[in-house]
Structure 1
Amino acid sequence: MVDSVLSFHGRWKSPRVMKHRLVQNQGSKSRGCAQSVNYLEAVDLFVRLHREGLELNSFVFTSILKLLVSVESGEFCRSVHACLYKLGHRSNAFVGTSIIDAYSACGLVDDAREAFDEIIWKDMVSWTGMVTCYAENGVFKEALELFSDMRMGGFWPNNFTLASVFKASLGLEAINLGRSVHGCALKMRYELDPYVGAALLDLYTKLGDMEDAKLVFEEIPKCDVIPWSFMIARYSQHQRSKEAVELFCRMRQSLVLPNHFTFASVLQACGTMADLDLGKQIHCNVLKVGLDSNVFVSNALIDVYSKCGKMENSVDLFEESTNRNEVTWNTLIVGHAQLGHEEKALKLFLQMREDNVQGTEVTYSSVLCACAGLAALKLGTEIHSLTIKTRFDKAITVGNALIDIYAKCGSIKDARVVFEMMSNRDVVSWNTMISGYSMHGLSSEALRIFEYLQKTMIKADKLTFLGVLSACSNTGLLDKGQAYFTSMVHDYCINPCIEHYTCMVALLGRSGHLDRAVRLIEEMPFEPSIMIWRALLTTCIIHNNVELGKMAALHVLELEPHDEATYALLANMYAAARRWDDVASVRNSMKKKGIKKEPGLSWIESQGTVHYFVVGDASHPDIRLIYGMLEWLNMKTKKAGYVPNYEVLLQDVEDDEKPRRLWVHSERLALAFGLIRTPFGSPIRILKNLRICLDCHAAIKCISTVVQREIVIRDVNRFHHFQNGTCSCGDYW
């Protein structure tokens, strides 16, 4: 490059030849790596022309300025501008517009405006150049003000002006202004122009006015693929998947060949609808046109199969892909996490890091959700450290996932720390914090967070009130729960969904108002769901109302004849009432239908490994130490005043067998293991798939005093924090 410049210096050229060489350089500015060579040669030529006093006309200046647009050299642009000012070319609209374009490419908006103001006789092109400069650089208000000045000056906009004004309207989310300018475009017959049409589609679709976008789309020429792809993409992004698919079919009928962007968008629609058959058909179409290797299409195919529950197909496509990016990895990780394959999601994340693929906020939020599902707190904290190193901890989605994992792993204080450190929060942040406190039985904190939310600009939604009502239900705050339910409807204009009614049925029933719970079910505007009847059944068991509980169970089994949880609850209810014949009848019915009761399962994490226990487990490598610890705990708790509650035994067993049956419940086995293998003084965190029984609850309260440790157990309903002989639930669960 240097040699070519020096060799040119060694030969004298006439002004005409030098100008010709300059124009050639400007004309070839887009030819790959030659761009930088041409730029330097052009600068060298320009300097020599100026120093040798040769004639510099408008054509020379515009040539060099057009080249500056591609290389974005603000410093040299100012030098050329100063030269123009000195030579008196500043008032030329042709040259002035080139200066505006060059400054705009460098992001120097104020300099561009100065150049615009220097033009004495402004024409349509110079006005358009300045309006476009403002719009392209995000100075939207000034773009619209200048457009207004232009119209007052008697200038009619062209297609490029209108496209820039639509972009500015979009930037300010001024859809009504955009509509008025659309009217101007119609008067000038620019509605069929591709630039205007694309800008209008962008304006309407991004601001959510899909109906006006549809009208624009139907009017513009559709002989090429761009408008079709654009509308299909926007329909998919606005959750109007059926319309996206219908438009894709119209496109194919019009004999327009889809491109990779089209396929990726329509596949997104298939994934949203979980339409596996349609996804397979489009997959075949992709193979026919040879776009299956395109990374965008490949990612969309992986997403379709994962959203349709066919992870084996997604994994096959992933393995076959030769052109992966971070989205490819994220799509598979998200798919595994959403389908409950948490361990596979985490394994894939580790593989992604080994392959030196940089994670994104989607990656980290997904793997944190997987950690929350496994209650893998140690791994979650390690990933938290990674997010801090990569600065993704500042992303709202990652912050929300961090709140969620700490809350679900029993560390609600850490969840609150993350919440307080977030510089920006959305409604999900507030909802996650409220539901976290609700899960931990800390209703006063949950409701206090809701009060803080009401003082912000963020509006509470259905999930907010679900967390609030759950908090009231978990602690028996009947009056507050009813007040919030009423406020949701009247003050926030939110129609209650089945989950809200479920909370209210549980709240009324748990508070002993079973008749009011039944009345609420009868008054609901839709048919009761399994959740509603199961909530009623659970409260009937608590209050020993066998007949009403039997009625609730029958309603559940009408809707889901093979629901093993309901059979188990029904059997438990009969067992608590000592109706052993009915217990036997329920179990015989389960046996005939091939229904098996879900066994009690508890698990605990130690040194990055999750250990699982079932009732009466004898398979763990440390089982002798575990049973030794249980014997010691049994002796110590009896001395501390613990009295076994044999009524929780749901089988008719001999009296001498009852004590042993109680002490081999899965949560006690997990607790004994935790006392053996976790550092002294550290909290013990246990997860359980069923509701903790009354006797285990009483025993663990006593154990927390004996061992002077905080014991956190998350059962199927909520968290229990045992410390110094008490539980955070206040014995209300």
Structure 2
Amino acid sequence: MMITGYSRQHRLDDALKLFYEMPVKDTVCWNSMMKGCLDCGDLSKAKELFDGMPGKSVVSWTTIMNGFLQFGEVQMAESLFREMPVRDVAVWNSMVHGYFSNGRVEDAKNLFKLMPCKNVISWDSMIAGLDQNGRTDEALLLFWEMMGSGVQPTLTTFVSVVTACANLLRLHLGVQIHGQIVKLGYCFDEFVTASLITLYANCKQMENSYKVFKESLHKNVVVWTALLTGYGLNCDHEEALKVFRDMMKLGVLPNQSSFTSALNSCCGLEDLDRGKEIHTTAIKLGFENDVFVGNSLIVLHTKCGNISDGVAIFKRICDKNIVSWNSTIVGCAQHGCGMWALTLFNQMIRAGVDPDEITFTGLLAACSHSGMLQKARRFFEFFSQHKSVEVKLEHYACMVDVLGRCGKLEEAEELIRNMPVQANKMVWLTLLSACQMHSNLDVAERAAKSIDDLEPDCSDAFVMLSNLYASANRWSDVARIREKMKHSGTVKQPGSSWVTLKD
């Protein structure tokens, strides 16, 4: 139908012109036009068509209800659901799915219980919805309830359940379900294969991931990407990039996730040259301005110290998300470009993007690396009062680092002791490191004592305190610390450096 074709090309005006010119319009035409408006983002026009529709079918009611759910208008969708003259199982399933899409988990669970008739799609929607909303344990319990009720699982069921096992690292249960999949002959489906590869990869069983991949008869881009991502997750970045090269050689075109995983592996290797090659391929395939590919490129360039190119890539992304802003702010902060980070934050606020915990960490890091103590204090005060952002232990550690670098050691110690949560070893080590920088033995000894209470054999604390005593010519204290280390069997952790050799 031409109306659907125009809508798919986002030519809504042409679709509406054709629709209004039709001398006779059946229910299918009205439904298609409504769906086209929703696909083109025009909810009000879809509602206008629905209100003017002469004979509404169940599909008509379901289409407009789904539209309200799609745009987050849950109350309007609920009102339509209650007004429907007839509600079949598809309507109930759509409402359950819509609740999950809008984070209304309890409403979805309650509606599921009220359903007069459930089919396998009802169960699948519940299992997938619970898993996607962080209630993975409940999703697995519901799967066993489904099996006990005599409902036969489908391919979709198994994909959702294996994904849930992967998210919870339930290897033993995943292996059992893998056996069921083989028994029922579902093991050759690409999406089931991809979920199994992810399960074994998440559980650090890359040999089994590769075995599943090799046994797959039809390897589409989803299967290749699952293997590529699995190797990256297990820090085998060279193998991940080999998988990416192999899929390209075999003519399997990478998708958004393939490029993101390949670029993340380049980032893990700090290999900017290979990252640029993959970026070139992404541009050729039309992913130049893709937000997820762009975010990975920002992280790669900034991690490798190429801040200017990272910021340039950020500017080219059309639909920036919170990750785009945070990646650029954190990248600038880590390389001493504090003013750039603060400028980006101002632009972020003006663009109407709400900051989160990662933004806060990036801003404090920017202040720390650029010596901006007063700005750090103002940010800390602002976010402490900003209830949408939870001030976590890592933020206190960042603030301690800012104060420590600026020589405000007593203030940093007071901040730690007045924290609403107990400080961990890393917070005290941050203070101890600052004491070493400013040769402050009094605060250092108190910080070392606090670390000793938390972890009696912390080699980092011993070494820093010993170095402080040595710089103050207190050799008897140096000997005492070294004797204590020897007695407890504490060994200094060896340092390491990453060096990239180019041909």
TM over 0.5: yes
- Which deviates more from structure 2 when the two are superposed, residues 104-113 or residues 367-376? 104-113
Q: Which residue of 1 aligns with 2:110?
A: 215
1:553-572 superposed matches below 5 A: 553-556=448-451, 559=454, 564-572=459-467
RMSD over aligned CA atoms reads 2.9
User: Contact (CA 8 Å) 2:123, 2:146: kept in 1 or not?
Assistant: yes
- Which deviates more from structure 2 when the two are superposed, residues 203-212 or residues 297-306? 203-212
Larger radius of gyration: 1
Q: Which residue of 2 aligns with 1:135?
A: 34
Where 2:223 maps in the other structure, the secondary structure is helix
1:247-396 superposed matches below 5 A: 247-396=142-291
Distance 1:362 1:566 in 2: 42
Where 2:497 maps in the other structure, the secondary structure is strand
How far apart are 1:567 and its partner, in Å? Answer: 4.6
Q: Which residue of 2 aligns with 1:145?
A: 48
Distance 1:184 1:507 in 2: 59
Distance 1:598 1:263 in 2: 46
Matched, 1:488 2:355: no
Distance 2:327 2:100 in 1: 30
Q: 2:20 aligns with which of 106, 110, 113?
A: 113
Distance 2:485 2:50 in 1: 76
User: Contact (CA 8 Å) 2:256, 2:287: kept in 1 or not?
Assistant: yes
Matched, 1:404 2:299: yes
Distance 2:487 2:234 in 1: 31
Distance 2:315 2:237 in 1: 28
User: Contact (CA 8 Å) 2:4, 2:33: kept in 1 or not?
Assistant: no
- Which deviates more from structure 2 when the two are superposed, residues 328-337 or residues 576-585? 576-585
Change (3 A) 1:287 1:443: same
Listed one character per residue, the Cα deviations across residues 241-271 of structure 1 (whole Å, up to 9, x for unaligned) are: 1221121121112121211211111222222
How far apart are 1:227 and its partner, in Å? Answer: 1.0
Listed one character per residue, the Cα deviations across residues 614-647 of structure 1 (whole Å, up to 9, x for unaligned) are: xxxxxxxxxxxxxxxxxxxxxxxxxxxxxxxxxx
Q: 2:66 aligns with which of 167, 181, 194?
A: 167
Paired amino acid for 1:423:
C
- Which deviates more from structure 2 when the two are superposed, residues 480-489 or residues 591-600? 591-600
Distance 2:319 2:125 in 1: 32
- Which deviates more from structure 2 when the two are superposed, residues 137-146 or residues 296-305? 137-146
1:37-48 superposed matches below 5 A: none
1:293-692 superposed matches below 5 A: 293-491=188-386, 493-556=388-451, 559=454, 564-580=459-475, 582-583=477-478, 586=481, 596-607=491-502
Distance 2:240 2:480 in 1: 43
User: Contact (CA 8 Å) 2:34, 2:50: kept in 1 or not?
Assistant: no
Listed one character per residue, the Cα deviations across residues 138-171 of structure 1 (whole Å, up to 9, x for unaligned) are: 3443332232234xx7x6x442222122133234
More helix by share: 2
How far apart are 1:431 and its partner, in Å? Answer: 0.9
Listed one character per residue, the Cα deviations across residues 78-124 of structure 1 (whole Å, up to 9, x for unaligned) are: xxxxxxxxxxxxxxxxxxxxxx9999999944333333x657xxxxx
Change (3 A) 1:285 1:118: closer
- Which deviates more from structure 2 when the two are superposed, residues 137-146 or residues 532-541? 137-146
Paired amino acid for 2:18:
D
1:50-129 superposed matches below 5 A: 72=1, 74=2, 108-115=15-22, 118=24, 126=26, 128-129=27-28
User: Contact (CA 8 Å) 2:89, 2:118: kept in 1 or not?
Assistant: no
Where 2:420 maps in the other structure, the secondary structure is coil
How far apart are 1:340 and its partner, in Å? Answer: 2.8
Distance 1:564 1:310 in 2: 33
Structure 1 residues without counterparts, runs of 5 or longer: 1-71, 75-99, 120-125, 609-733
User: Contact (CA 8 Å) 1:377, 1:406: kept in 2 or not?
Assistant: yes
Q: Which residue of 2 aligns with 1:182?
A: 81
Q: Which residue of 2 aligns with 1:22?
A: none
Distance 1:334 1:588 in 2: 47
Q: Which residue of 2 aligns with 1:652?
A: none
Distance 1:349 1:591 in 2: 49
Change (3 A) 1:104 1:582: closer
- Which deviates more from structure 2 when the two are superposed, residues 131-140 or residues 240-249? 131-140
Distance 1:553 1:284 in 2: 53
User: Contact (CA 8 Å) 2:295, 2:323: kept in 1 or not?
Assistant: yes
Distance 1:562 1:385 in 2: 50
Distance 1:209 1:352 in 2: 40
Distance 1:178 1:551 in 2: 60
User: Contact (CA 8 Å) 1:564, 1:597: kept in 2 or not?
Assistant: yes
Paired amino acid for 2:44:
K
User: Contact (CA 8 Å) 2:200, 2:209: kept in 1 or not?
Assistant: yes
User: Contact (CA 8 Å) 2:35, 2:46: kept in 1 or not?
Assistant: no
Distance 2:463 2:315 in 1: 42
Q: Which residue of 2 aligns with 1:724?
A: none
How far apart are 1:221 and its partner, in Å? Answer: 4.6
Paired amino acid for 2:495:
G
Distance 2:482 2:220 in 1: 53
User: Contact (CA 8 Å) 1:204, 1:210: kept in 2 or not?
Assistant: yes
Change (3 A) 1:397 1:561: farther
Matched, 1:228 2:101: no
Listed one character per residue, the Cα deviations across residues 660-702 of structure 1 (whole Å, up to 9, x for unaligned) are: xxxxxxxxxxxxxxxxxxxxxxxxxxxxxxxxxxxxxxxxxxx
Listed one character per residue, the Cα deviations across residues 267-296 of structure 1 (whole Å, up to 9, x for unaligned) are: 222222233333333333333433233221
Length, aligned pairs only: 495
Distance 1:168 1:549 in 2: 61
Matched, 1:239 2:146: no
Moved beyond 6 Å, runs of 4+: 100-107
Paired amino acid for 2:21:
E
User: Contact (CA 8 Å) 1:103, 1:111: kept in 2 or not?
Assistant: no
How far apart are 1:408 and its partner, in Å? Answer: 0.8
Distance 2:227 2:480 in 1: 46
Where 2:499 maps in the other structure, the secondary structure is strand
Percentage identity across paired residues of the two chains: 35
